[in-house]
Amino acid sequence: MYQQNIAALAKQLRSKDISSVELTQSFLSRIKDVDPSLNSFISVTEDTALNTAAEADKLIASGNAGPLTGIPIAHKDLFCTNGILTTCGSKMLHNFIPPYESTVTSRLKQAGTVLLGKTNMDEFAMGSSNENSYYGAVKNPWDTTKVPGGSSGGSAAAVAAGLVVAATGTDTGGSIRQPASFCGITGLKPTYGRVSRFGMVAFASSLDQAGPMARSAEDCAYIMNAIAGFDTQDSTSSEQATDDYVDTLSQPLQGLKIGLPKEYFDSTLNDDIKNTLMTAIKEFEKLGATIKEISLPNLKLSIPSYYVIAPSEASSNLSRFDGVRYGHRCENPKDLLDMYMRSRAEGFGQEVQKRIMVGTYALSEGYYDAYYLKAQRIRRLIKQDFVNALAEVDVIMGPVAPTTAFDIGSKTNDPVAMYLEDIYTLSVNLAGIPAMSVPAGFDNGMPVGLQIMGNYFAEAKLLNIAHQYQQVTDWHLQNPNLAKGA
């Protein structure tokens, strides 16, 4: 049952072959059996889930169910959920229960989904390995000695292990695509502004974007139909009309022009990963696509630019966590300054503190022009590279990461090596374009993802391309050999 997609489960629910309560109980049981070895959930909302499932069954019986009614999902634990713990993987918010609902979770609730719980993540979405969580590291279902990727590693691991049908994630510099690649699932980072950020605890406001994580492009399309669209509560939300992402999945790929950036396929890319990706790209040629080499000359500047802009925005966004209004407060402060200092020092982990310090420095008087302003100018060059490239081709393809999932602890003491894991994903967020990771094979038993990047608001095209590829391959159907419940 846990291996079936949304359409198949929805059909069984409507035909009364299974009830939403039974489906939900099945997934909750699987979480209890499997998740102790993965640590992909921070909280499991069993009672709420069963109540929601019972309501879904009533809706199905009335004949008014939608395609997502009764489908079990999970949310990354930085989406505010009314009355449900929302921690952002941090001690700072270990006791925070929001009094309101994010737009993403609200829309999925309205679509009839059943929330099973909140997934583990790098603290405040800062990380590429899901080792920075106050609640402990998440393990990769394919090999529990390896990381699942980050920061949406809990969502990726939960989907890959069959603990939920789909999950939400957020992508600030690759945090949907990289864990999707490491865990062998499909993940979509939409165009900036396509999905509302209201109620999503901010890391870097000009980069953050929510998106779906699921086994297939088709399942991601169902989730996108529910969450995409304008929101008056988000000033960065786009008013551009959305597509029906499911209806466009079956369009043929004849005549599709694919660009391969020479900067993505140079000597820094692992040869085995390169060969895996080129095999995948040949499948698109069989489907009628043509290949062209392109250039993104400013790719090498994406890491220094991102690691000025993102920490600067994080420094500003996280200033609200001061021990006064909500979140962690130190015990017995001597005075107001002591409360501020100790509450933040105790509440934030090492990686978050480091990025706050970097961002505060970059925004300080005398350094703003030299660092932050210059990084924004570089960002414009990176965006223009994509605009130029996408004037020549329909989509761009390449690797998601330079390696497959690495060993837990192997890069925690080498921040440069950790940051380099994002070399192929950061530029997409700086430009604001949509991109996704699609399972494309394995290297030494670990999944490899193919990254597909498109023009602004071309999510339907990306999902269509990914779906057509998944009709002729079965990489997205592979399952990890879990010790329990496999």
Q: Is 442 helix (H, G, I), strand (E, B) or coil?
A: strand
Q: What is the dihedral of CA 4, 10, 11, 13, to 10 degrees?
A: 110
Distance CA 246, CA 223 (A): 10
Helix (H) or strand (E) holding 291: strand 290-294
Q: Are strands 210-214 and 72-76 parallel, antiparallel or unpaired?
A: unpaired
* Cβ neighbours, 10 Å, residue 250: 11
Task: Verify whether residue 315 is a known catalytic residue.
Answer: no
Is residue 151 annotated as part of the catalytic site, yes or no? yes
Catalytic residue chosen out of the listed positions 40, 76, 90, 238 = 76
Q: What pairing do the DSSP bridges indicate for beta strands 435-443 and 41-44?
A: unpaired
Rounded to 5 degrees, what angle do the CA atoms 311, 301, 261 make? 125
Instruction: Indicate which residue of 19, 175, 238, 315 is catalytic.
Output: 175
Examine the residue annotation and report whether 76 is marked as an active-site residue of this protein: yes
Q: What burial letters (b/e) apply to 92-125, b meaning 16+ CB within 10 Å?
A: bbbebebeebbbbbbbbbebbbbbbbbbbbbbbb
> Which residues, 6 or more positions from 80, have their beta carbon under 8 angstroms from its beta carbon?
86, 98, 100, 101, 102, 105, 199, 200, 201
Give residue 421's Cα distance to chain centre. Answer: 15
Q: How many CA atoms lie within 13 A of 184 on its CB side?
A: 21
What value, to the nearest 5°, has the Cα angle with vertex 206 and ends 205 and 212?
Answer: 80
Active-site residue identified among 20, 129, 133, 151: 151
Q: Is 84 helix (H, G, I), strand (E, B) or coil?
A: strand
Burial of residue 463 (CB within 10 Å: 0-12, 13-18, 19+) is buried
DSSP for 169-204, please give it: EE-SSSTTHHHHHHHT-EEEEPPTTTB--TTBPPSS
How many Cβ atoms sit within 10 Å of the Cβ of residue 337? 9
Residues with active-site annotation? 76, 151, 175
